[in-house]
Amino acid sequence: MELVRYALTDPRNDCEWVRSDLDSMIAIAEREGATQFQGFTILRDVVQIEKQGDRWVPGPLQVRSLSYEDVCGHYQRILSANPGCGLQVASHGLVFLDDDGITLLRAPYKDDGVTIDEDELYELDGDVFYYGHWEGETPESTRADILSPTLREIPDLEEILSRNNSRTFF
């Protein structure tokens, strides 16, 4: 067998997962008699590592462009694991789950930088998502929001959602 594929699911940043999982990946590759293997990050980026002599040498990380659906799926996963919290996203303020547990809502902060502006509460949509990132951001910052999420507790989230439950988001 020449190639072993190894899926990585730890949502830490890319450098950290390579360091922490490398020994495990090498052990599997050697057990299988492989001379190279691939690892996939939680964002489905790929790193290929080849055996050169008695050393294992990683190649460059092949970064995959994220789709709007990819980003929303990761946001939903992060927020489902952290009820009552919002995910801080530079271009949108806070992104959080509606009470259906699926729909992503966004709201900017008020001038105090702490309270979200309920008058600007809208459904997160793809109209401002371009080529792997949100408008006004870089692909790296959009990826960082997923790999190293900044969560903010929203103490009155249920109350905010109930007040806005009758609103139509477009």
User: Can you give the pLDDT at residue 31?
Assistant: 86
User: Can you give the pLDDT at residue 20?
Assistant: 57
What distances in angstroms separate CA 91 from CA 28, 53, 67, 75, 117, one per listed residue? 41, 47, 17, 14, 14
User: Can you give the pLDDT at residue 75?
Assistant: 95
Q: Which residue has the tokens 């050697």?
A: 30
- pLDDT above 90: residue 4: no
Instruction: For residue 23, count CB atoms less than 10 angstroms from its CB and return exposed for 0-12, middle for 13-18, buried for 19 or more.
Output: exposed
The domains of the chain are located at 3-58, 68-164
User: Can you give the pLDDT at residue 16?
Assistant: 53
Model pLDDT for residues 68-93, shown as the tens digit of each residue: 999 999 999 999 999 989 999 977 78
User: Can you give the pLDDT at residue 8?
Assistant: 47
Rounded to the nearest 5 degrees, what angle is found at the Cα of 100, between the Cα atoms of 91 and 96?
20
User: Can you give the pLDDT at residue 110?
Assistant: 81
Model pLDDT for residues 129-149, shown as the tens digit of each residue: 999 999 989 999 999 899 889
Count how many Cα atoms sit within 13 Å of the Cα of residue 36 in the half-sphere of its side chain: 11
Query: Quick one: tokens of 3?
Result: 């190639």
- pLDDT above 80: residue 100: yes
